[in-house]
Structure 1
Amino acid sequence: MERKWWKEAVVYQIYPRSFKDSNGDGIGDLNGIREKLQYLKLLGIDVIWLSPIYQSPNDDNGYDISDYKMIMDEFGTMKDFNDLLKEAHEIGIRIIMDLVVNHTSDEHPWFLESRKSRENPYRDYYIWREGKGVGVPPNNWGACFGGSAWKLDENTGMYYLHLFSPKQPDLNWENETVRREVFEMMDWWCRKGIDGFRMDVISMISKNQAFPDGEVKEGLYGDFSPYAVHGPMVHTYLKEMNEKVLSKYDLMTVGETAGVTVEEARKYAGAQEHELNMVFHFEHVEGDGELLKWTDKKPDLLRLKKILSRWQEELGEEAWNSLYWDNHDQPRAVSRFGDDSSRYRAVSAKMLATCLHMMRGTPYIYQGEELGMTNFPFTELTQFKDIESLNAYGELTGKGLVSHEKMMSYLRCKSRDHARTPMQWDDGPSAGFTVSVPWISVNPNYTEINAKKELADKNSVFHYYRKLIELRKKYEIIVYGSYQLIMKEDARVFAYIRSLQSERLLVLCNFSDEEAAVSIPEEFLREDVKCLIDNYDNPSSQRRGRLLPYEAAAYYLGKEKN
């Protein structure tokens, strides 16, 4: 397998609004990130992925962009960004940007022009269609954030498509001029010296131009995904993007590709396809609820193992995996997949980290994950800020599909706001995030869970992540070894073997709060097997055949590294 820096890297995602406030307005900013670069250097990460920092009205927290070449006022200035990029590069940290080009804000100059008249030169920058009749949209598609995916523009009497919020009109990628504008903007950022792009909902840029009705699964609206996800021209457009921009620079590129299969992922990220380096799939974090995303049940480990193992095994040598438990759109990993009680929070956070970072692929750490930050204990609907959460509550309770109590339980488990509460730096006011009132409430457990406390404790979740990252840089097998699931039908233990030539690595993870028996392969019973890492103080090598609650361990067999 070809070696690449982005395969060997560990990525740290920053949600700027919630990371660190440097000017006391309650909102995180670029200079706040600069203040914490040495913290990230100590952790050992190689790449920062910045969630959107462009000028935006903030209908969807920056994923609605009104100017791609300006910095959001709340986050600082272009000089602040340039300083951040320079200082990060000086200490060996790369920066990748969030690329949001399926849609813009409805306040973007292109859309302001586009909606002026049917004859405007910018009209074809977006997707406009006639309704089927008075007050009837062009088709029955529902938007991701609720309601119809079409909005009537009273001025011109036509509907525009928005697969997300009405303030996020979809760009018309069929228009060659739109593609040229997007590629020029990307090239502008690359010339600035950024190191790559995470591409927001990039699998949705091509739509079936017939715009047929979708199947109605829940409620009033049709499913657009067969006609607007992995659409007919998506790979043509990405190959053009690669040719015009990406191939000219040494970049890391990862596509957010909802609904992607392994087969489709090979097209996006296959080494010979000349599109992207890797994709994010969502199988392991979506679709496990009573109402798709919405559930309050713990994930099923057998299902989780099956999904993650299929991606490990079937991508094989052809394409590269991205590895993550959580991000800005997901609840906190330790609350979802582990145990956020005081008894097991730290040990289960370490277990989850072991399970993920020992797999083949590029690991992504979401801010606060390295501290074992947990979900927020929401009690009132008024505490939520997220447009998706609020719209889902209104739609599902409004249709009588879910009670208020049940929907609140779902939101306490799955709301995107869990990931967006401020980073917990210390036990001072507002967790050291700001000197004023934060834009969203700080988790009240910040006095116990914070970076200051964890940095001082050599057995903390933070220092465990440091060790995992160090091991990844030392042992090639962790990056490039093949993967084999063992104990496939065990409902409590996730166990697998990595292999690279004569080297072997055994990874054992107990996902339960009870002791679990494990079947140790005979080759790992040899005296020269080394325990690389264990999340309990007394390594499980002394207790072969048993794992303590949420215990994780990795055993190495091979020539020891210097």
Structure 2
Amino acid sequence: LYFVPSYSPAISSSVFLSFTEPVMPSSAASGTRSESSSPVQKNVKKWWKESTVYQVYPASFKDSDGDGIGDIQGILSKLDYIKSLGANIIWLNPIFCSPQVDMGYDISDYYNIYRPYGTVEDLDQLTAAIHERGMKLVLDLVVNHTSDQHRWFQEARSSKANPYRDWYIWRKPIYGEDGKPRPPNNWKSYFGGSVWEYDELSGEYYLHLFAKEQPDLNWENPYVRAAVHDIIRHWLNKGADGFRMDAINLISKDQTFPNAEITNPDSPWQDGTKHFACGPRLHEYLQGIGKILKQYDAFSVGEMPEVYDLNEMLRSVGNDRNELSMVFHFETVSLDHGPGGKFTSRKWELHELKTIVSRWQTFMFENNGWNTLYLENHDQPRIVSRFGSDEPEYRVPSAKMLATFLGFQSGTLFIYQGQELGMPNVPKHWGINQYRDIETLNHWNEITTNAPQNTPLHEACLAEYRLKSRDNARTPMQWDDSPNAGFSSVRPWLPIHDNYESLNAVDQVNDKESVYHYWASVLRLRKAYADILVYGSFELLSPEHPDLFVYARTASSGRAVIVTNFRPHEVTWSVPEKAFNSAGDVALSSYPGRTSHSLLQPTVTIKPFESFVWLSGTGTSRL
């Protein structure tokens, strides 16, 4: 097992780094104690709290056998690259057997591997190699739903009398005046249309919150829960160290299945999340899983969309709850969603981001919960294009700034493949034919079907896809400047980004000023000063500054101030009183030349997308 060593309160002079980062403003939301929390010890140290997770999207990471699709052997060949970055947990997106309607999130066999990715023996080899390097393996567990090709569902739809029928959610139709069957309620699927699909054979509808090929499991059935528990035990016994649990807060539904409130009069299908997100038995189900995980000291992170109540989140992750280690919330990554949903936009202000971050940081610290730190993953666009700038002159400094902003908050840090290189969104010339993502394609089909002649709307949608389609993060990893970016010897399943000759891993590993090396510096500093940068308290500084996000982390062993400029221009900062002192030093800076002396002035000029970390404590100096 891998354990992060304990740290001395003294700040060693051997780990300071030569990059720079911008300071964060003070909290807009104070931390208050949750009514559900109990007075357990605050900041209990765990191996997974001090870890950094590197997320691998198998199809796009590295192809070893020349079929254009990434695979397990490809991942195995790049383990040393991941370890050198400083990550110590590897999370694999779904690798199990699947028809790939939703890139593996439609599982047809939980005990075998999707053949293009490899075999169970390949996974055994990968698991052993990860553990040999002192790292841990996290698998993606998708148990809100299965594939419609799973044996359970094939049995369930074969007959109403089949024992597996009740493993899924079936309801009788409502008949209209025309005598035709209609869905039992008006809930809208995440991928468009109704959540109900009519089954001609049995004359009933089954529920699917996502694609119709992804029928939802009926967690009310104890046999379903037992089967899921068996899957969890199987992979933990095979060497997995934990799970990322997909859409896990959707497993308990309101069993009356009422109609949703009409919020979009132009659509027959409405947002029903209040009836299926964090349902009445969710925590009972999570505690059943948590009991198993606790036996293995296993890691768990739950994806929890549609939840904005911190107390509800805390019920899943509190020290005394025995449910999940942590959860992914969606407030930050929904900031730019417009009134029409993900594929519409709104202009957001930095103070909104400050409010969200400060609230989560303070609340979890005060109430014995734990945060996840992420901005990018397989479902989100690239952060340099979204929160920074992918313009050539600003891509590198904005990527470093975002690494600094994210990397020193309290929580477990997640880095998605290519994020450590500052990879941007897909090229602006992409048309709809380049996309493979079911969410994007379903949205396009709905728009073009309902408004076939509305060219301005079509162009607006394409612009939104270039900003927020899931395929932005799924283009193949750019390893070198050879054909197909060193990802594969043949044309990949999804187009390589045009910029691979100038943006690739080999070049960045060989360039000490690269985004890759900056990220490695962030992880080294975070590890060296875990008492402050992992477990310390959070305070937002200069909360009213419109351009800077500045925050402080404080522990008995010292204090850090993190400064980040979110703008592509210089800004002036009136330094808060007592923010810095002569005993500290700049530990990390994204621009050369940032000194601690410069911060002792009443006013400081911060460069475009500049970021830096100032640390005070025994033995503080720059690396």
Q: What's the TM-score, normalizing by structure 1?
A: 0.98
Q: Give the superposition deviation at 1:397.
A: 4.6
The equivalent position to 2:594 in structure 1, one of 528, 539, 544, is 539
Residue-by-residue CA offset, 1:313-363 (whole Å, 9 max, x unaligned)? 112242000000110000001110001111010110000000001100011
* Counterpart Cα distance in 1 of 2:528 and 2:577: 25
Give, in whole Å, the separation in 1 of the partners of 2:498 and 2:59: 19
**2:371 corresponding residue in structure 1:** 321
C-alpha displacement of 1:229: 0.4
Maintained 8 Å contact 1:295/1:414:
no
Gaps of 5+ in 1: none
Please tell me the root mean square deviation across aligned C-alpha atoms, in Å. 1.4
Match of 1:499, SS state, is: strand
State the 1:526 CA deviation: 2.3
Q: Distance in 2 between matches of 1:491 and 1:124?
A: 54
Residue equivalent to 1:487 = 542
- Asked if 1:259 is matched to 2:306, the reply is yes
Q: Residue in 2 aligned with 1:456?
A: 510
Match in the other structure for 1:229: 277
Counterpart of 2:70 in structure 1 is 28
The equivalent of 1:282 in structure 2 is: 330
Query: What is the match of residue 159 of structure 2?
Result: 117
Q: Tell whether the 8 Å contact from 2:584 to 2:620 is kept in structure 1 after alignment.
A: no
Q: Secondary structure in 1 aligned to 2:460?
A: helix
Mean Cα deviation higher: 487-496 or 34-43: 487-496
Pick aligned residue for 2:566 from 511, 529, 534: 511
SS at structure 1 position matched to 2:613: strand
TM-score norm. by structure 2 comes to 0.88
Equivalence for 2:139: 97
Question: Which AA in structure 2 matches 1:328?
Answer: H
Displacement of 1:305 in angstroms is 1.4
When residues 36 and 414 of structure 1 are mapped into structure 2, their CA distance, relative to the original with a 3 A threshold, is same
Deviations 1:450-474 (A, max 9, x none): 0010011000000001111100110
Give SS of 2:99's match.
Answer: coil
Q: Structure 1 residue 537: deviation in Å?
A: 1.8
Give 2:386's aligned amino acid: R
Deviation at 1:543, TM superposition (A): 4.4
Quickly say closer, same or farther: Cα 1:288–1:341, change in 2 above 3 A. closer
What pairs up with 1:140-179 in 2 under 5 angstroms?
140-179=186-225
SS at match of 1:302: helix
1:27: how far off? 0.1
In 2, distance between residues paired with 1:314 and 1:490?
Answer: 22
Q: Report the residue type matching 2:285 in the other structure.
A: Y
Task: Quote how far apart the aligned CAs of 1:557 are.
Answer: 1.2
Deviations 1:8-27 (A, max 9, x none): 00000000000000000000
1:387 aligns with 2:441: no
Counterparts of 2:268 and 2:587 in 1: how far apart (Å)? 54
What SS does the aligned partner of 1:294 have? strand
Which one-letter code corresponds to 1:337 in the other structure?
Answer: F
Q: Which residue of 2 aligns with 1:210?
A: 256
Could you tell me which runs of 5 or more consecutive residues in structure 2 were left unpaired when the two chains were aligned.
1-42
Shift of 1:215: 1.9
Q: Distance in 2 between matches of 1:502 and 1:520?
A: 23
Q: Percent identity?
A: 47
Match of 2:334, SS state, is: coil
2:494 paired residue number: 440
| Amino acid corresponding to residue 379 of structure 2 in structure 1 | D
How many residues get paired? Answer: 561
Contact 1:17 1:27 in 2 (8 A): yes
Q: Look up the match of 1:558.
A: 617
Which residue does 1:368 correspond to in 2?
A: 418
Greater shift in the superposed pair: 209-218 or 23-32? 209-218
Match of 1:351 in 2: 401
For the Cα contact (< 8 Å) 2:508–2:516, is it kept in 1? yes
Q: Residues 541 and 576 of structure 2 are in contact (CA less than 8 Å); yes or no, is this contact kept in structure 1?
A: no
Letter in 2 for 1:150: W
- Distance in 2 of aligned mates of 1:305 and 1:220: 37
1:472·1:479 contact (CA, 8 Å) conserved in 2? yes
Q: Secondary structure at the match of 2:112?
A: strand
What is the correspondence of 1:180-199 to structure 2 with a 5 Å cutoff? 180-199=226-245
Q: 1:247 aligns with which of 291, 294, 309?
A: 294
Aligned equivalents of 1:503, 1:396: Cα separation in 2: 55
CA contact (8 A) 1:15 1:367 kept: yes
> Following TM superposition, by how much is the alpha carbon of 1:524 offset from its aligned partner in structure 2, in angstroms?
4.1
Match of 2:359 in 1: 310
Alpha-carbon distance between aligned partners in 1 of 2:122 and 2:406, rounded to the nearest angstrom = 34
Q: Which residue of 125, 143, 149 maps to 1:83? A: 125
Which residue type is aligned with residue 495 of structure 1?
V
**CA pair 540-211 structure 1, distance change in 2 beyond 3 A:** farther
2:371 partner amino acid: N
Summarize deviations over 1:214-234 as a string: whole Å, max 9, x none: 123232212120110000100
* Structure 2 CA distance for aligned equivalents of residues 334 and 161 of structure 1: 37
Match of 2:387 in 1: 337
Q: Which of structures 1 and 2 has the larger relative contact order (alpha carbons within 8 angstroms, sep 6+)?
A: 2
